[in-house]
């Protein structure tokens, strides 16, 4: 590993080109046809393309299904082994290696069931309940199960809501684990109920006919009431109506109450499935189904979108009769109508649907892992061929990674870093890119490529865990919201994080290699790795310092003070001071190569604290993105990092070979 490459052999070039070409073909196949279309039966993937407004942006139902399932179920898919509980539209997977059959319910199929057959969906064990005391409220104390049906939990809904309200009124320092769990369960049940009544009243069999009857009766009543004196009390008006008019008004009142219930029950979810009445209107004009059903203009013109949704629902309930033909046709017709109208932002919704299916970050994660394993194999056999091939494979992974970031920028209309999820994606991207440059220009021994793969893998795994918190394209900030500062301060400070992690991982390679044998890297390899780390630390200091100063200017413009000793501000300052301390210790002769590399490893812990730890404190203007159990995981990670830094110094031995 100590010897650096000079001129590549012909076999190395051929191997690299072949492996890179295989990787490209696999990536192209996955990204161009990410979803399979069923040969027969309902096409729930196509249903997932339908755009809706949720949380201030247009998104496909596929995204909504994922986010809501994560919020309610805690996982992105519903599965089970009890075939008696298999939903009608679940896919059966044959058991292998002695295991029995299992079933999986697609997220879009689940959402369709909740929207159009709420009573059936309420029997599924999907609502996550982890606390035994909460389970006891609906008679499931001592149960080992973690997920229960809405029907089971609703037996204690009033008590759950009462306890959740009490918990919400407590000060932060008095909130218990039970308070957190009861609040979470109340929110999950509320989300489920909101979805189940977002389009139509639960249990409605023929909603299109119901809407048509409602419209007809409204028109007839309007015509019949033309000659009726409406002055006076309700009793006086009722006395002036004939029997037919009274009966019709009673039916209308009943239907209107039903529609109003849909409108009010969907407030918390804030799902607006219907596009504006005019194609040129902005996204704020998207409408809720309940409000559209009772809108006065429906007595004059038919609401095409509302009726289309009704046909989709009726088609879903007819799947058992026609194998999904009417459902698929209704979905196809509605999507064609949406495309023909040119509503604002619906093109982005279609791109997001493709983005969800292609999943470029998962593709790049897999490629990073494969490339890292190839490098490890290359350090044992066929060193030149495999390490060079891995370099180009990681380049492909980085390109896919870049495509994913670019698509997120396009879809959100925001800079690349807006929340913790996007920061994880970007930190890994920046670190991997610089590591590849080091490999190409300085190291040339596979170390730069391996570090790039490690940074890519770890950052995307962290991002995937953070994605379980919900919509990853929502901007989650305490107070600040400015595209200019998100483009300058946030990107610069995030690149500073990337540099700190890169320097730390180079330090880890240095320490681990010397623990195994001082001659693995050799004198030249140690020197090159040390010089590279020094350069990266300089880069980290520059970007961290500039990013911190820009953050102060942003804070001054937003809050009227440059510095307030907020935990996040303190974390940024600690990174700057630590990098400066490293450089001063090196220049002053306080630490030599092993000490400097150990300090770079400690920089990982310091950066992790500034990045995540300050958010987990639950205080300050930057307290967002909190996750249960994350503080403990962060603590153990920091302990491991400190141990590795200590071992790097204690076990260091001078190499005897160049």
Domains contained in the chain, number? 4
Note the pLDDT tens digit of each residue in 15-68.
889 999 999 999 998 888 767 777 788 999 999 999 999 888 899 999 999 999
Record the tokens describing residue 196, joined without a space.
Answer: 């189940």
pLDDT recorded at residue 1: 55
Average pLDDT, the chain: 85
Q: Is 522 left (phi over 0), alpha (psi -120 to 50) or beta?
A: left
Mean pLDDT (whole number) for 624-651:
84
Note the pLDDT tens digit of each residue in 67-99.
999 989 988 888 888 888 888 888 888 766 556
CB 391 within 8 Å of CB 367: no
CB 395 within 8 Å of CB 428: no
Distance CA 399, CA 385 (A): 22
pLDDT at 498 over 90: yes
Query: Do 504 and 580 share a domain, yes or no?
Result: yes
Residue 614 counted as domain residue: yes
Mean pLDDT (whole number) for 250-268:
61
228 Cα distance to chain centroid: 57
pLDDT recorded at residue 96: 65
Query: Do 307 and 401 share a domain, yes or no?
Result: no
Q: Which domain holds residue 150?
A: 61-196
Query: Do 326 and 373 share a domain, yes or no?
Result: no
Query: Do 461 and 527 share a domain, yes or no?
Result: no
Q: Are strands 271-272 and 102-105 parallel, antiparallel or unpaired?
A: unpaired
Which of 476, 500, 524 is a domain's end point? Answer: 476
Residue 22 counted as domain residue: no
Task: Work out the angle between the directed axes of helices 207-224 and 243-265 (0-180°, nearest 10).
Answer: 130
- Closest by CA position to 578, among listed 552, 597, 600, 546: 600
Q: Are strands 78-80 and 102-105 parallel, antiparallel or unpaired?
A: antiparallel
Residue 482 counted as domain residue: no
Which of 420, 445, 476 is a domain's end point? Answer: 476
Distance CA 129, CA 145 (A): 8
The C-alpha angle with vertex 580 and arms to 577 and 586, in degrees rounded to 5, equals 140
Query: Do 402 and 428 share a domain, yes or no?
Result: yes
Note the pLDDT tens digit of each residue in 311-368.
999 999 999 899 999 999 999 999 999 999 988 888 999 999 999 999 999 999 999 9
Q: What's the Cα-to-Cα distance from 463 to each of 5, 352, 468, 470, 650, rounded to whole Å? A: 35, 18, 9, 12, 34
Distance CA 536, CA 339 (A): 49
pLDDT at 437 over 70: yes
Query: Do 66 and 124 share a domain, yes or no?
Result: yes
Residue 462 counted as domain residue: yes
CB 47 within 8 Å of CB 112: yes
pLDDT at 301 over 80: no
Count CB-CB contacts under 10 A for residue 267. Answer: 11
Q: What are phi and psi of 626, to 5 degrees?
A: -70, 140
pLDDT recorded at residue 299: 60
The C-alpha angle with vertex 291 and arms to 112 and 288, in degrees rounded to 5, equals 40
């Amino acid at each position: 590993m100590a010897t650096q490459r000079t001129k590549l052999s012909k076999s190395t070039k051929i191997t690299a080109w072949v492996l890179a070409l295989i990787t490209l073909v696999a990536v192209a196949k996955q990204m161009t046809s990410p979803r399979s279309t069923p040969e027969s039966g309902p096409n729930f993937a196509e249903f997932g393309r339908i755009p809706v407004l949720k949380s201030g942006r247009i998104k496909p139902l596929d995204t909504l299904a994922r986010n809501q399932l994560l919020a309610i179920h805690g996982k992105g898919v519903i599965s089970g082994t009890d075939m008696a509980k298999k939903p009608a539209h679940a896919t059966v997977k044959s058991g292998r290696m002695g295991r029995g059959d299992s079933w999986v319910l697609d997220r879009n199929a689940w959402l369709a069931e909740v929207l159009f057959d709420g009573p059936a969906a309420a029997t599924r064990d999907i609502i996550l309940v982890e606390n035994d005391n909460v389970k006891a409220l609906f008679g499931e104390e001592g149960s080992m199960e973690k997920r229960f049906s809405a029907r089971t939990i609703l037996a204690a809904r009033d008590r759950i809501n009462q306890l959740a309200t009490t918990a919400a009124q407590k000060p932060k320092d008095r909130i218990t684990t039970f308070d957190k769990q009861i609040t979470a369960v109340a929110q999950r049940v509320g989300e489920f109920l909101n979805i189940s009544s977002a389009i139509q009243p639960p249990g409605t069999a023929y909603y299109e006919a119901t809407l048509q009857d409602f419209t007809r009766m409204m028109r007839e009543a309007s015509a019949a009431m033309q000659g009726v004196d409406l002055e006076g009390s309700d009793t006086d008006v009722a006395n002036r109506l004939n029997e037919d008019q009274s009966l019709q008004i009673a039916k209308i009142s009943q239907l209107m109450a039903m529609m109003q219930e849909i409108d009010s029950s969907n407030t918390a979810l804030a799902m607006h499935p219907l596009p504006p009445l005019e194609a040129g209107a902005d996204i704020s004009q998207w409408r809720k189904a309940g409000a559209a059903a009772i809108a006065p203009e429906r007595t004059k013109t038919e609401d095409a979108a509302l009726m289309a949704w009704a046909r989709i629902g009726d088609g879903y309930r007819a799947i058992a009769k026609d194998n999904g033909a009417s459902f698929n046709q209704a979905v196809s017709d509605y999507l064609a109508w949406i495309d023909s109208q040119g509503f604002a932002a619906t093109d982005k919704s279609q791109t997001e649907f493709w983005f969800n299916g292609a999943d470029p970050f998962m593709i790049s994660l897999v490629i990073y892992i494969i490339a890292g394993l190839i490098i490890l194999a290359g350090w044992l056999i066929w060193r030149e061929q495999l390490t060079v091939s891995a370099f180009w494979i990681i380049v492909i992974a980085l390109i896919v990674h870049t495509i994913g970031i670019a698509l997120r920028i396009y879809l959100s209309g925001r800079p690349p870093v807006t929340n913790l999820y996007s920061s994880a994606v970007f930190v890994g991207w920046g670190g991997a890119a610089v590591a590849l440059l080091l490999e190409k220009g300085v190291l040339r021994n596979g170390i730069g490529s391996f570090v790039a793969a490690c940074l890519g893998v770890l950052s995307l795994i962290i991002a995937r865990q953070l994605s379980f918190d919900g919509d990853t394209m929502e901007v989650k900030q305490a107070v600040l919201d400015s595209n200019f500062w998100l483009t300058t301060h946030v990107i610069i400070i995030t690149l500073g994080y990337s540099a700190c992690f890169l320097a730390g991982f180079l330090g880890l390679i240095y320490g681990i290699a010397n623990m195994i044998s001082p001659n693995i890297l050799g004198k030249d390899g140690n020197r090159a790795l040390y010089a590279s780390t020094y350069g990266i630390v300089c880069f980290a200091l520059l970007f961290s310092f500039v990013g911190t100063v820009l953050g102060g200017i942003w804070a001054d413009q937003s809050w009227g003070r440059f510095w307030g000793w907020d935990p996040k501000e303190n974390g940024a300052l600690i990174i700057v001071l630590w990098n400066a301390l490293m450089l001063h210790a090196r220049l002053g002769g306080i630490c030599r190569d092993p000490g400097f590399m150990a300090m770079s490893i400690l920089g990982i812990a310091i950066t992790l604290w500034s990045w995540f730890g300050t958010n987990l404190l639950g205080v300050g203007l930057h307290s967002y993105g909190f996750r249960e159990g994350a503080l403990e995981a962060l603590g153990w990670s920091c302990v491991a990092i400190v141990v590795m830094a200590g071992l790097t110094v204690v076990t260091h031995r001078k190499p005897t070979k160049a």
